[in-house]
Structure 1
């Protein structure tokens, strides 16, 4: 099988794990235990690495959409002999409502086929391949008509409401017909090999209950601003990327989908980045998700732990794991032959000086809700981070784009060091006796003077990506967004114009740097915010609406967009892209927002 475009995929979630299902009816990615766990279906990374296709045998015209305010997907196939609807979801725990969603998800993939008109012959093809395609399981037909697949650490059970399922040597292949008014349901349930057996659910009843769980969850959130449908949907996507047990938000569902087809910039994004923390918190507050924001905050504080001399890691596992050592999966071809396929992410080892600024910004955002005095551990964390920044800000680092070559004095890192100390000074009355606002303020002012002197490149006429470098970097757009510089300041205005002119890739897209092959959606949404702050709201609105057009047919955004073809690139769905959408929509609603 050829691998479909990344934009063909829709996202299913039970707030424990996630799946990708294509327009062709094939589920090509599922890590059932947790987002950053081991895949049992991984065709998106190799045609031989496992899939579950459920679709008409005849060619069909496809229409699909999520049920409102859910990640329950309904795909309608129109064939010459009739039409059928296939509804897909990852099951919620029975009776879960509101913020219970995902706390005890049963790890069951639901697929229900409904005959709409005529009579349609369907094909089912399940090829489970646990451990990212390394294992081919034994298949066992069961007395109740189900098929059990077992290999290594995983057990899967495929069950249906139609005729008994039959196992081939290494897959389940079956044909059946559905007439108008008929319904056939299937479940694929996962369990660890050495524990309780997989849960058995009625697919139709479980699908109804899962839909109600999602809708009840969203009914408790009320966004009041511009672009309500897009913001609400992005909030649903962010909820779907949230690992409910801890509150951590995964940066993306997938690993190693390439930034450039055939290239090697293929990274594992199934973890939670502290760099994304403040922007994520802001987006959750904007989208009226205060409980999710508070749980994410608690997860970050616990994951960071006591501050020492070592740099704070930029990312953690979804339950706070720190060691995310990276290795290559040599047995996988990679999406569109883009190698290597990586599991883990060695960016956790890097020094990235912007991270404390993101964390302290999040505390500052919540300070009114946290009381007149912060809890001891939280106050100690802020003080420890501020003290660390005051000592280390002069060091070079790898920057927010996590370069894997040499350390440099990156502009955005220095600015976020300023942010860390500026916010810490503001929080000082709530931090107790260990706070040192006078020293922090003096260092903050020194950082500012250094950035204004070293960050500005007179020859380029803009703030550039690193001190002494002539290379523009879209991260300079952060300066007005974090209140370091006014967007109307002549130097800042010149920088915004230079980034738009030199790094603009067409179709509203902005690249991170000049050799970046594709438009980076987060940077593009930053430009929208900057244009609002310069007073160009009409142009900002046109740009924003142009960016909305890059979503696929079910409203999902990847990391990057090919400016020539419009193709989706990078891991998907990408949390930062949806966060950028939410924050830009709110900036268009209220330009004074912080």
Structure 2
């Protein structure tokens, strides 16, 4: 049985100790970094290798290894071939190669190994993904042995941390762990940060909300940028913005996708894998995400807010980024009166969502402030006019007398946690009487312990919204309540400091795709908010 596990230092190398009646072993698992890949370059060139090293700690332990590979989401059963000390698994466009420093057995559709480990001994396994069409990729032995890959991976993480993980704010250890998680979720080739590395883990049991999150959401951009700026460094944030401009291409009348592949792909159309049962029999299993084709007006604000956040780190926007920012401001000015799917990606109907209008206001507000850096021929006065009209419209149309709060959509009286963004993006101060009432009503009406739900009928708490409430309470001046909730939320991370999208307070289970960028971003940003407010109120500040 596993007795304890932890990451090795500030890395994603996982060490787990197992205790048995006759001894104990340590199992080290990691995705390998390339030898000589250091600092900002980690992950740009990778061996595509998953490594496991088993070491004897005490006594003698008998172990069994079993590898059952399935390709194309289980549709293809691979051929197994042992040759030259390795076993290759081949099917379709994929080849997996298992290397081991001891004997393995082929048993029809699986690879097994039975072995004993004494104290001081070790056994290693390296599973590599090989492109069968790339002759240069066929020989990966030059990437190193398991122990050499471990040394290179730890050195890569150490070098990255020397440049990045120096944050010393509230709950600094968890914030630093979250920064490492964000780096692990980053496609280093492009700087794009995916929402999660998994698909189809249910947000609720038995409700079919099993989505594929292995993509990049524009909606998450400004929150992620701030978190990278706070707990990592501006280099990562800068690369992310450049990736977006290059991926979207030349501005035009085309639909702006709200989700992209980490390589910049637009079309990630969704389909279901009906032959798979799903996690705990929760169907359907999905590949792709149809949200890419939705209309979500808030994304323009996310992108322009990101650019504004990085204004001091980026001396001059490149031409592609400049054109993208101008185009997004114009789109916000022209389209804010239209309904959309909202930031929660409603699939049944479009509405006039409050948060979408607020983020259109953000787009125009930031565009006006950045106008001197966006080139010639800008209608700044037009942007200002539309910005002010959005503000007046939201204040008038989003307020619900019956709810005593700003509602989630115009003409509604339903509370929605997304309106907590209003003070966080400087649309209204948290101390504004109506905004303060909204924060209190959301706290009272949507809370489940330290968590809040996105809306009343939702069963589980949504982690980033709960951290938004922490920020709002702090901005209202109730720092003690904010810190108490913040500490309770941090306690919901698992033993490795990882967070999912949602949390079921009844069962105590982390729910949704995992680990979730949005949740780790929320933690970092709430930590920064509490830290900054604490410094401002400190004597002598």
Q: Give the TM interval when normalised to the shorter protein.
A: over 0.9
Q: 2:101 aligns with which of 161, 170, 175?
A: 161
Superposed, 1:373-412 pairs within 5 Å as: 374-412=317-355
Deviation, 1:516, is 1.2
Secondary structure of the residue aligned to 1:133 is coil
Q: Deviations over 1:124-148 (max 9, x none)?
A: 010010111111111112242x221
RMSD of equivalent CA atoms: 1.4
Other-structure match for 1:147? 87
Q: What CA distance in whole angstroms lies between the structure 2 residues aligned with 1:427 and 1:540?
A: 32
Secondary structure of the residue aligned to 1:472 is coil
Extract unaligned runs of 5+ from structure 1. 1-59
Other-structure match for 1:468? 411
Extract unaligned runs of 5+ from structure 2. 536-541
Q: 1:131 aligns with which of 53, 72, 80?
A: 72
Superposed, 1:206-221 pairs within 5 Å as: 206-221=149-164
Other-structure match for 2:375? 432
Other-structure match for 1:442? 385
Query: Per the alignment, do residues 592 and 276 of structure 1 end up closer, same or farther by CA in structure 2, a change over 3 Å counting?
Result: farther
Q: 1:515 aligns with which of 457, 463, 473?
A: 457
Comparing 418-427 and 93-102, the one that deviates more: 93-102
Q: 1:77 aligns with which of 18, 30, 35?
A: 18
Deviation, 1:391, is 0.9
Q: Is the 8 A contact 2:11 2:158 kept in 1?
A: yes
Q: What CA distance in whole angstroms lies between the structure 1 residues aligned with 2:80 and 2:182?
A: 36
The reply to whether residue 488 of structure 1 matches residue 431 of structure 2 is yes
Q: Deviations over 1:6-43 (max 9, x none)?
A: xxxxxxxxxxxxxxxxxxxxxxxxxxxxxxxxxxxxxx
Deviation, 1:166, is 1.2
Secondary structure of the residue aligned to 2:156 is helix
Secondary structure of the residue aligned to 1:394 is coil
Q: What CA distance in whole angstroms lies between the structure 1 residues aligned with 2:317 and 2:42?
A: 30
Q: Is the 8 A contact 2:57 2:119 kept in 1?
A: yes
Q: What CA distance in whole angstroms lies between the structure 2 residues aligned with 1:185 and 1:341?
A: 33
Q: Is the 8 A contact 2:462 2:501 kept in 1?
A: yes
Other-structure match for 1:339? 283
Secondary structure of the residue aligned to 2:72 is helix
Q: What CA distance in whole angstroms lies between the structure 2 residues aligned with 1:375 and 1:117?
A: 58
Q: What CA distance in whole angstroms lies between the structure 1 residues aligned with 2:484 and 2:534?
A: 20
Other-structure match for 2:539? none
Comparing 229-238 and 428-437, the one that deviates more: 428-437
Q: Deviations over 1:191-234 (max 9, x none)?
A: 12332326233111211211111111111112232222111100
Deviation, 1:436, is 1.2
Superposed, 1:108-507 pairs within 5 Å as: 108-144=49-85, 146-162=86-102, 164-195=103-134, 196-197=137-138, 199-200=140-141, 201-221=144-164, 222-371=166-315, 374-506=317-449
Deviation, 1:592, is 9.2
Deviation, 1:149, is 1.2
Secondary structure of the residue aligned to 1:215 is helix
With the length of structure 2 as denominator, give the TM-score of the two structures: 0.96
Other-structure match for 1:103? 44
Q: Is the 8 A contact 2:2 2:16 kept in 1?
A: no
Q: Is the 8 A contact 2:354 2:398 kept in 1?
A: yes
Q: Deviations over 1:265-298 (max 9, x none)?
A: 1111000011111111100000132211111111
Secondary structure of the residue aligned to 2:310 is helix
Q: Is the 8 A contact 2:16 2:28 kept in 1?
A: yes
Q: Is the 8 A contact 2:179 2:228 kept in 1?
A: yes
Other-structure match for 2:514? 572
Deviation, 1:101, is 0.9
Secondary structure of the residue aligned to 1:367 is coil
Q: What CA distance in whole angstroms lies between the structure 2 residues aligned with 1:199 and 1:499?
A: 55
Q: What CA distance in whole angstroms lies between the structure 2 residues aligned with 1:349 and 1:133?
A: 27
Secondary structure of the residue aligned to 2:30 is strand
Q: Deviations over 1:119-174 (max 9, x none)?
A: 00011010010111111111112242x22111111111111112x21111000122
Secondary structure of the residue aligned to 1:298 is helix
Q: What CA distance in whole angstroms lies between the structure 2 residues aligned with 1:193 and 1:348?
A: 31
Q: Is the 8 A contact 1:90 1:109 kept in 2?
A: yes
Q: What CA distance in whole angstroms lies between the structure 2 residues aligned with 1:447 and 1:365?
A: 22
Q: Deviations over 1:81-124 (max 9, x none)?
A: 11100000111111211122111101111100000001000110
With the length of structure 1 as denominator, give the TM-score of the two structures: 0.88
Q: Is the 8 A contact 2:23 2:60 kept in 1?
A: yes
Q: Is the 8 A contact 2:234 2:310 kept in 1?
A: no
Q: Is the 8 A contact 2:198 2:214 kept in 1?
A: yes
The reply to whether residue 535 of structure 1 matches residue 474 of structure 2 is no
Q: Is the 8 A contact 1:356 1:385 kept in 2?
A: yes
Q: Is the 8 A contact 1:562 1:568 kept in 2?
A: yes
Deviation, 1:389, is 1.1
The reply to whether residue 91 of structure 1 matches residue 32 of structure 2 is yes
Q: What CA distance in whole angstroms lies between the structure 1 residues aligned with 2:339 and 2:477?
A: 35
